[in-house]
Chains A and B, each alone.
Chain A
Amino acid sequence: MPISEQTRDGHLLLQLEGGLTIFQAAELKDELLQALAHAEHRIELNLAAVEEIDSAGVQLLLALKHEAASQQKTVNYSHHSPPVLAAIDLLNLAATLGDPLLIPNAR
């Protein structure tokens, strides 16, 4: 479940914890949609505490990114946990879901 905290300049910081899998996907989707509506410009999603991720989780992150773009907002993912990094690496999605501050892991 995301734990949110507002920071200055309308920059919303969210933290995801536990599983990011099909078991949580439906609920998470609603919460992320809400968070996006709240955010003025930018959301930063901290993935440090994600213990597990599957395809459902990956496509949720992708859909959030697309959705944000269509609303002229930005979503950044940061502090990827090892399982998240492994999935991003396998699916070659570093460019989309990687941390913009890090140089994507060149394969």
Chain B
Amino acid sequence: MDMDMARDALVQEARELLVAMENALLEIETDGASSEAINAIFRAAHTIKGSAGLFAFDLIVSFTHIVESVLDRVRNGKVQIDDAMLSLLLNCGDYIGALVDAIQNRTENEEPDAARRVVLEKQLGAYLEPPAEAPAAAALTATAKEEGPQQIEGSGGVSSDNWHLSLRFSPDVLRNGLDPLSFLHYLSSMGRIVYLHTLTDNLPPLSQLDAEASYLGFEIDFDSDADRAKIESVFDFVREDSQIRILPPHSKIDEYISLIALMPDPGRLGDILVRGGALTEVELEQALQQQQGQEIGQKPLGAMLIEQQLVPEPVVSAALSRQKQNEEKKSHEQKFIKVEVSKLDQLIDLVGELVIAGAGANLIANRKKDAQFEEATQAISVLVEHIRDAALTLRMVPIGEVFQRFPRVVRDISRELGKEIELIVTGAETELDKSMVEKLADPLMHIVRNSMDHGIEGTEDRVLAGKSATGMLRLNAYHESGSIVIEVSDDGRGLNREKILAKAIERGLVTPDHNLSEKDIFRLIFEAGFSTAEQVTNLSGRGVGMDVVKKNIESLRGEVEILSQAGQGTTTRIRLPLTLAIIDGFQVMVNDEVFVIPLDLVIECVDLAGHDARHNIVKLRGEPLPFVRLRELFELPPIQHNRESLVVVQFGQQRAGLVVDRLLGEFQAVIKPLGSLFSGIKSISGSTILGDGRVALILDVPHLVQQTAQQQHSLTQSAVAGLLTNNKTTER
């Protein structure tokens, strides 16, 4: 379970790193190589390799290793980064992405595309040096490893079945955080310490003791099935500046002789060795005699010194000449806590309950007419409002998360189409609800592809039209009155009204006698099955039309519109509510029913009496405003009442009026989704629970505005049947 979490984290992090890598590569392509960008690419490969290594995901480790090696050479200035390499690295990033997908799908042991990998590795290999130094180093370690078995077979071995370890740690080990005690403890996990003698000979008198230096030595007889390399590895970290001598079972007596010779008092060590059973009395005597003989002999000391190197340090410090890497500059990486989305949702749910409970308390306070109580609940309300806002911002992420994939998309598609297209991204920091980010990606991708495919002309056509050879595609986002607006603009040929209309007529979407406004014509693009492309290219002609885009956006309670100027370009504008969970609502009442209108969309409230209101059009300051009576809309029984109020709402550029009985004021509405029973009602976007526990319906203002506007349209042009409206209502 835990490891599953870790695996998910690996996948998520790898994806983020790949995005960073891709951005850095694209940055190099446009702005030239910088050490920062190169480091970012290197770090991505490096970190993915490291994390994947933890799980022994060998396919991805071995591949990223090669990429990392090439990048290391780039970093060290041995290889220049050029166009070919950029493309190669982008492709490698994609392949790493495929390997990451495999990890997510639990198929990490299957190569996603072996042929592709071979090609990539071959291309990468061209940037690498042939491995020259490696075999030498390998040979070195190999000889060191062979020592053990040879000695076991040698003649004249002692009778002991145990290993003997003689350890003299350097004075600095403790200061370096290495405690001999813990090494010995670790050793004991590998076998049985038969005998251990702690040597205190070097320990000075207390007054002269450097309490932080290490003085102890150890002679150990050790019973273990582990091989020499394994036992040696216990002392990996201390080997460099300590004397570690390891004698295998049945070592030659010479080995012990040289060991004894190292001691200031050979007799004592001999005693220790006998006590631990490393040597028998006879063997010791033999050894002492031989040692005396050697001392008269020619080169015992030198031989001993060589033997002291018994445990060679295999580390080959190769790249000392390597360029010293610049101190890493402060990167743009920010600190984040990663929180599971489900936890966040839970918090928001709770805040929602808090809002409802708070409203309940407010209600009671109002009824009790207790000033202090009211004041207290008021203070709590303010705090709850702040908590609500803060909780909701936790879910907000910059739209840059969606935008960031487009530089690569635009690069690849423009190459494929043979068009020169420059991408400009603005407003990437604009925030919106996380859940929307995920659902926005596909529609945006489709719109962008559409623009590149059909909007922006080929270079020749552009030059002929007197435009710059390079086409421009712009992604923009900004906040506007409680909504986030996302625009995809191009400076291409614009939409062709006649062509669209002709196509729509051909497809039977409209009849030729319809007199449609430009806006209505553009809207036809979003009708199911509509495609303007004369020839279906492999990019846009995938059977997914703009109707799917529209449906996706509408499912987010948003709307999409198209603005276009022939010959100058097209802008697709998406408008979405900022959040999906809680809204500031405005309560209105019709009969005994309470309805909630999103406050952001309310422009003003006026008394309907005294205004000229006929045929659902009211003249407001001289301007006609279409309106709808909620009583009629929801088929509520008529009641005797003296006055009606008009709530003016706006969505996008359009306004409409809603006629109600009473205005109840502001209220925080926690949006509860409607049950499937209500999903057919188009004027309602959700429900909410009032402070007294009653349910109120939240009005779908975008839909109402559109509907009333279209009614007005059809009224003013009564000859034209409200086809779009009809079309809409029959559509679902």
Q: Which residues of A contact B (CB under 8 A)?
A: 22, 25-26, 28-29, 32-33, 36, 54-56, 58-60, 62-64, 66-67, 70, 87, 90-93
Q: In the complex, how many angstroms separate the beta carbon of B343 from the nearest chain A beta carbon? A: 37
Shortest distance in angstroms between A54's beta carbon and chain B's nearest beta carbon? 5
User: Shortest distance in angstroms between B551's beta carbon and chain A's nearest beta carbon?
Assistant: 66
A25 to B214, CA, bound (A): 12
Q: Give chain B nearest CB distance to A45 CB in angstroms.
A: 13
- Which residues from 137 to 190 on chain B have a C-beta closer than 8 Å to any C-beta of chain A? 174-175, 179-182, 184-185, 188
> Could you tell me if A67 and B207 are in contact, using CB atoms closer than 8 angstroms?
yes
Report whether over half of chain A's contact residues are helix, strand or loop; otherwise say mixed.
Answer: helix
Residues of A within 8 A of B209 (CB): 29, 59-60, 63
Q: Are B184 and A56 in contact (CB under 8 A)?
A: no
Task: Note all chain B residues with C-beta closer than 8 A to A25.
Answer: 211-212
Point out the residue from B179, B195, B198, B203 that lies within 8 Å of A54, measured CB to CB.
B179
**Given A22-B174, A90-B188, A29 and B206 contact (CB-CB distance below 8 Å):** yes
State A66–B204 Cα separation when bound (angstroms): 9
A63-B205, A67-B206 given; A90·B211 CB < 8 A: no
What residue of chain B has the Cβ atom nearest to residue A70's Cβ? B205
- Residues 610-644 of chain B: 1 if any A CB is under 8 Å from the residue's CB, otherwise 0? 00000000000000000000000000000000000
Evaluate contact between A55 and B205: CB separation under 8 angstroms: no
Instruction: Say yes or no: B206 contacts A56, CB within 8 Å.
Output: no
A sample of 6 inter-chain contacts (CB < 8 A) reads: A22-B174, A22-B179, A26-B211, A29-B211, A55-B216, A60-B211
Chain A residue numbers with a CB within 8 Å of B215 are 59
Q: Is B718 an interface residue (CB 8 A)?
A: no
* B323 → chain A closest CB, angstroms: 38
Q: Across the interface, do B200 and A62 meet the contact criterion of CB distance under 8 Å?
A: yes
Distance of A60 Cα from B215 Cα, bound (Å): 10
| In-complex Cβ contact of A67 among B198, B205, B212 (8 A) | B205
Q: Is B197 an interface residue (CB 8 A)?
A: yes
Q: How far is the CB of B365 from chain A (nearest CB, A)?
A: 56
Q: Is the CB of B196 within 8 A of A56?
A: no
B interface residue numbers (CB < 8 A to A): 174-175, 179-182, 184-185, 188, 193, 195-198, 200, 203-207, 209, 211-212, 214-216, 218
Q: Cα distance A22–B178 when bound, in Å?
A: 11
- Smallest Cβ-Cβ distance to B175: which chain A residue: A22
Give Cα distance in the complex from A91 to B196, angstroms. Answer: 6
Asked whether, in the complex, the Cβ of A59 is within 8 Å of the Cβ of B206, the reply is: no
Bound: A32/B207 CA distance, A: 10
Q: A28-B211, A90-B188, A92-B196 are in contact. Are A55 and B179 (CB under 8 A)?
A: yes
The answer on a CB contact under 8 Å between B216 and A59 is yes
CB distance from B167 to the nearest CB of A (A): 12
Cα–Cα, bound, A8→B168 (Å): 43
Within 8 Å by CB of B174, from A28, A55, A67, A91, lies: A55
A91 x B206 contact (CB < 8 A): no
In the complex, what's the smallest C-beta–C-beta distance from A24 to chain B, in angstroms? 9
Interchain nearest-CB distance for A52 vs B (Å): 11
Q: What is the CB-to-nearest-CB distance from A64 to chain B, in angstroms, rounded to a whole number?
A: 6
| A93 in complex: contacting residue of B174, B198, B203, B214, CB < 8 Å | B198
Of listed B185, B188, B206, residue having the most chain A CB within 10 A: B206
A92 with B197: CB separation less than 8 A? yes
Task: State the CA gap A29–B211 with chains docked (Å).
Answer: 7
Q: Of A32, A54, A55, A92, which is within 8 A of B206 by CB?
A: A32
Considering the chains assembled together, what is the distance between the CA atoms of A31 and B641 in angstroms? Answer: 95
Q: A22-B175, A66-B205, A90-B196 are in contact. Are A55 and B181 (CB under 8 A)?
A: yes
Q: When the two chains form the complex, which single residue of B175, B185, B195, B204 contacts A90, counting CB atoms closer than 8 Å? A: B185
Interfacial chain A residues near B184, Cβ < 8 Å? 90-91
Measured CB to CB, the closest approach of chain A to B677, in angstroms, equals 66
Which are the 8 A-B pairs with shortest beta-carbon distances?
A25-B211, A67-B206, A29-B211, A26-B211, A63-B206, A54-B179, A92-B196, A91-B198
Alpha-carbon separation in the docked complex, A76 to B188 (Å): 28
Instruction: Find A92's partner among B195, B203, B207, B211 (CB 8 Å cutoff).
Output: B195
Closest to B177 in A: A22
Which chain B residue shows the least CB distance to A56?
B174
Contact check, A58 vs B216: say whether CB atoms are below 8 A apart: yes
A62 partner residues in chain B, CB cutoff 8 A: 200, 203
Determine the chain B residues whose CB is within 8 A of the CB of A29 once the complex forms.
Answer: 206, 209, 211
A48 to B209, CA, bound (A): 25
In the bound complex, CA of A36 to CA of B203 (Å): 18
Q: Tell whether, in the assembled complex, residue B207 and residue A33 are in contact, meaning their CB atoms are under 8 Å apart.
A: yes
Among residues of A, the one whose C-beta sits closest to the C-beta of B206 is A67
Contact of A33 among B197, B198, B206 (CB under 8 A): B206
Interfacial chain B residues near A87, Cβ < 8 Å:
181
Query: In the complex, what's the smallest C-beta–C-beta distance from B234 to chain A, in angstroms?
Result: 14
A25, A36, A54, A56 interface centre (most CB from chain B within 10 Å): A56
If A55-B181, A93-B198 touch, does A26 touch B212 (CB 8 Å cutoff)?
A: yes
- Rounded to whole Å, the gap between the CB of B191 and the closest CB of chain A is 14
B212 touches A22 (CB 8 A): yes
* Interface contact B204-A91, CB-CB below 8 Å: no
Interface contact A54-B174, CB-CB below 8 Å: yes
Q: Chain A residues near B181: list those with CB within 8 A.
A: 54-55, 58, 87, 90-91
Q: Which residues of chain A come closer than 8 Å to B198, judged between CB atoms?
A: 91-93
The answer to whether B180 touches A55 (Cβ under 8 A) is yes
Complex contacts, B195 vs chain A, CB 8 Å: 92
